[in-house]
Amino acid sequence: MSPSASSREYGSLDRTVDQVNVEERAARFTKRSIKNESKIQGLCMALAMCDLTTLEGKDTEGKVRQMCRKARQPVPNDLQRILTDRYQMAPLSVAAVCVYPNLVSTAVDELRGTGVKVASVATGFPSGQYPLEIRLQDVREARSSGADEIDMVVNRGALLQGDYDTVFEEIAAFKAACGTAHLKVILETGEIGNYDAVRRASRLAMDAGADFIKTSTGKIQPAATMPVTLVMLEAIRDHYYETGVKVGMKPAGGIRTAKEALHYLVMLAETLGDDWLTPDLFRFGASGLVNDLLMQLAKQVSGRYQSADYFSLD
């Protein structure tokens, strides 16, 4: 059982972040160059770390089923054959699909036995501005429908008011309601302020039991940025040094190109090490990224680009 917030000391949350240093370090990761077979391996790794997501009011069972089919087999057969024959790459899938709670059972049915996880947003996504019991019931219903992962939104109002006890206790309650499902805590970094606030929210979420911390809902701009992600990665590193617990990271929103994804993987490896280079501990929450990864893979193995409409948009 996690300690109650009232018994905790919040001194570690007051550490400040050197803005200039963080932004300069993040910029340096964009200067790295990955070539040839290492690039192919990086592109395949990034693809396997993607969460395909649909979170629109017009979502239907048919749309979710189509997205799940792409999640199971995002790589066209001819490209997969080359990757298997030439580079010994196992058939690729994405890490997870993420849907609203009412569509979890549809995704579970479509993905059963594939190894692709089903994630559900909950806790009054994206605002989180609902009574606590309703948000808890949101989690319970998603879990009972078969969700492997729950993506919750942090109480930004309480966080911005400095009410850390409430933030901590709510996350701990959501974690308990998840049962065996993993809890991803969305900080909505575009709303909570500067790098100090991002670090503070990251540490609170991890101390309260988060399995992953995540930048954004994708509904607020700015969403994921490399400096913000670096601050969160460093918070994860410090948490690991202090507790021995490995927490995952998910930058979400705004990552659209394979080149950007490779920059994030370089930053991840150099900040947290190779142990985090796995979908179990790192995800990209950017559905639009998948097709650019596929286009770049096709370019690497064939020497020419495929047309963008060669790959499905779902």
Alpha carbon distance 282, 279 (integer Å): 5
d(C-alpha 138, C-alpha 5), whole Å: 23
Judge whether 59 counts as a catalytic residue: no
Q: How far apart are the C-alpha atoms of 146 and 148, rounded to whole Å?
A: 6
For residue 307, how many other CB atoms are within 10 A of its CB?
8
Q: How many residues does the chain have?
A: 314
* Catalytic residue check, 214: yes
Annotated catalytic, 163? no
Alpha-carbon separation of residue 89 from 49, 72, 82, 86, 311 (angstroms): 15, 15, 9, 8, 20
Closest by alpha carbon to 191, among 235, 169, 158?
Answer: 158
Residue among 117, 175, 184, 250 flagged as catalytic: 250
User: Which DSSP category does 14 fall into?
Assistant: G
**Catalytic one among 51, 175, 214, 292?**
214
- 149, β-bridge pairs: 119, 182
Q: Look-up: residue for tokens 């550490």?
A: 15
Helical (H) or strand (E) element with 199: helix 195-207
Q: CA nearest 141: which of 169, 101, 106?
A: 101
**Which residues lie below 8 Å from residue 199, measured CB to CB, with a gap of 6+?**
13, 15, 17, 231, 232, 234, 235
Residue 222, preceding peptide bond in cis (omega within 30° of 0): yes
Give strand ranges (E) for 147-267.
Answer: 149-153, 182-186, 212-214, 248-250
CA distance linking residue 84 with residue 73, whole number of Å: 14
Q: Which residues contact 16 (CB under 8 A, 6 or more apart)?
A: 196
* Beta pairing class for 182-186 and 117-121: unpaired
Active-site residue (options: 151, 207, 211, 292): 151
The residues carrying an active-site annotation are 151, 214, 250
